Each structure stands twice: as C-alpha cells, then as structure tokens.
Amino acid sequence: MKYYIIAGEASGDLYGANLIQSIKKIDSQAQIRCLGGDHMLSIMGKGMAKHYKDMAFMGFWEVLFHLKSIFKNISFCKNDILSFSPDIIIYIDYPGFNLRIAKWAKKKGFLNHYYISPKVWAWKESRIKYIKRDIDKMYLIFPFEKKLYTEKYNMDCAEYVGNPLLETIPKIKETNFHTNYNLNPQKKIIALLPGSRKQEIRRMLPVFLETSKLFPKYQFVIAASLGIDPTFYDEFTENYSEVKIIRNQTYSILQNAHAAIVTSGTATLETALLKVPQIICYKTSNISYQIIKRLIKISYISLVNIIANKEVILELIQKKCNVKEIETQLRNLFVEENRNKIMSDYETIEKLLKVKGSTSNKIAQSVFSEVNKLKS
C-alpha cells in the first residue's frame, strides 16, 4: 500500500520516523513518501519529497512575511500527492499547513488520518468543524483530549494512543558523557534548549547565553537542533567560548544535566520525562504576542503545566524572559526541596500519559486496517 506522511517540524519528524518503521513492520510492501526532516530522511532516503526546514514558520507576523513561500509549499505538496497517488495521507501536527492540505485532499477522495491533534483546547477551536469535515481518524497524544473530542465535539473517530515521547525517551543513560564531549567533569551541566527553528533561536539563545556568564561553576551546553546548520549557532556563541554546542544529542545532554533552560514546546515535556528540573521560556515578536494573548484560552503555555493542570514549572514569557529573572529561577532549581517537588510532579505526569503498547505500532496497525477495509 502507498502512504503519504506530512511532518512540518522537528518533533513531528521524530514521530514520523518511528511511525514509518512501524508501518514497514506491518506492511512489508509499503511504499512511503513524505515531507519531513532528517530523522525521516535517514529512514526514507529517496522517499523524501521536501525537508521541513523549508516550511517551518511561526508567529503571525512571520507567517504573513513568508506567505509566498507557504503557498508555494502547499502547491508543491498537492502536486506531489497527486503524482504519488497514495492510499492514505497521514498528517502529523503542523495544523496551519496540514489542515489546508486535508481540505483539498478530502475533496479529491483521499483517506485522511491525523496524528497529534491541533491544540483546539488552547485556541482556534473553530478548527473543529474542519477536522470533523475533512479528517477520517484522529490520533490523540494527551489523555484529556479524548474526553474533549468524545463529549464536547461528538467525534467517535478520535482515539487516545498514548504519547510518542514515552517510546523515544532513552532508558539507558549515556556513560562517559563529559569525556566523550570534552566537558569538565567537575562542573554540573546546565542544558540550553533554545528551540528548533531559526526564529526561536535568534530570540532565545542570546538571553540564555548572557545568563551563563552568571554561573561560572557550571558547564552550559547548547542542544543544537539536527535541522539547523551547525554554523548558524556560531554567530551567537563567538563571545562564549566556555559554552559547548552539541548537535543532535538532546536526550543525552538532558540525561546528564543538572537543570535546563527550555524554550516552550515539545522540549518541555521531553525534559520532564527525562526528570530534569527546568525553567520554561518563551518570547516572540510583540505583534505576535499581542494577538496570541487575546486568542489563547488556557492558563499555561507549556505542555508540562497543561497536562498537570497546575504550575509545575515556572513560565517566563515575553518581558519576564530576561537574564535577571532566569538567574533567580535557575538558582531556585538548585535547592533540593524544590527539585524533589518537581520530580514528584514529573512522576505524576508520566503516569497520566502511559498506556500499554507502542504509540507508533498502534497507529500503524490502525492505518493499515483502515486502508484494507477500503480495498476489500
């Protein structure tokens, strides 16, 4: 059977790679084409249609500025789907792009499955009418979403499949990490996760780096994104020779970190599941922030706090995302009592997310079964 998978950012790329592996186990004759990133590329090789780094734009102002490129990518994707003629299209997150493709694909008669629901519980709830119209099956990754889809939106086609991070988080800690990456073994590591998009990194990393000057007894390590050219980080770190840049080793860095400063996104949940005390930071353009502030309808921006339904981790947003505030809160993370409280909350979050079996395997089996039904 033929599968077309669309992932428009780093986390979706990782989940997509795992899903592809699961599909291939179930369907040995599978033909797969995708839009994704380096994780999917490492498995797909020639099956990659376009890299997500040419597609990922965030924020209202940024999206408006890149409208020409966005429409060009949408047109490319539609033509590529028609050329490949898949039995099913699997959309992974990235709703601004994917819901547009899904609307078109539904009219063309394609089977649409969606992995990771748009955050309709946070904002743009109006998207539900498009999801109900265009999506044949929705795979949910947060337990609270199931009740929302079933009771509020009356969508029986939505299924909670567990959270994919639980199958990607490594169980074994890398040994000799300090030695392997030429780090000072006498210094505890503070992980810096400035984001996976250039726009995020430009805003967040300078603040993170300036903070590092205030903690000479610690080793600061930047978890560089696989999808970003390594030289991109150099313009920011030129005057921070003590700060290390390690590429494509985020989990290993976190496993060996004493604390972390993290840009809001999937990385906050990854950090929690790896049991690292963290500060969550977020800053965007003032125009984007003013719009988002008026539209968002939840109390928190980080997945950790949203899942727990309380403030487990402090969120430093916009003006609060400054060196002085980060310094204060980072020192708080060094206090044993505070660390123990955070660890207890992390354990609760992990229990809430757990289900039996692999998320990727569940989705692959469901996809394979649905296509078989249509063909029989």
Q: Summarize pLDDT for 268-310 with one digit per residue, the tens.
A: 999 999 999 999 999 887 777 777 777 677 789 899 999 999 9
Asked whether this chain's domains 2-162+355-375 and 177-353 adopt the same fold, the reply is yes
Percent of the chain past pLDDT 90, that is, above it, reads: 74
Band of pLDDT at residue 206, cut at 50, 70 and 90: very high
CA distance 196 to 224: 8
pLDDT at 23 over 80: yes
Band of pLDDT at residue 123, cut at 50, 70 and 90: confident
Q: How much is the pLDDT for 64?
A: 52
CA distances from 117 to 16, 59, 132, 138, 294 (A): 14, 19, 12, 7, 22
User: Tens of pLDDT along 333-365?
Assistant: 999 999 999 999 999 999 999 999 999 999 999
Q: For the chain, give every domain's residue range.
A: 2-162+355-375, 177-353
User: Tens of pLDDT along 25-69?
Assistant: 999 999 999 999 888 988 887 778 888 776 655 544 455 555 667
Q: How much is the pLDDT for 61?
A: 45
Q: First CA to last CA across the chain, in angstroms?
A: 13
Instruction: Please check whether residue 250 is in contact with residue 214, taking contact to mean a CB–CB distance below 8 angstroms.
Output: no
Q: What is the mean predicted confidence (pLDDT) over 157-178?
A: 90
Lowest mean pLDDT of 34-43, 65-74, 226-235, name the range: 65-74
Greater confidence (66 vs 228) lies with 228
Kind and range of the H or E run holding 325:
helix 323-333
177-353 sits in which CATH class?
A: alpha beta
Predicted model pTM: 0.85
CA distance 207 to 194: 10
Lowest mean pLDDT of 88-92, 98-102, 170-174, name the range: 170-174
Instruction: Please check whether residue 326 is in contact with residue 210, taking contact to mean a CB–CB distance below 8 angstroms.
Output: no
2-162+355-375 sits in which CATH class?
A: alpha beta
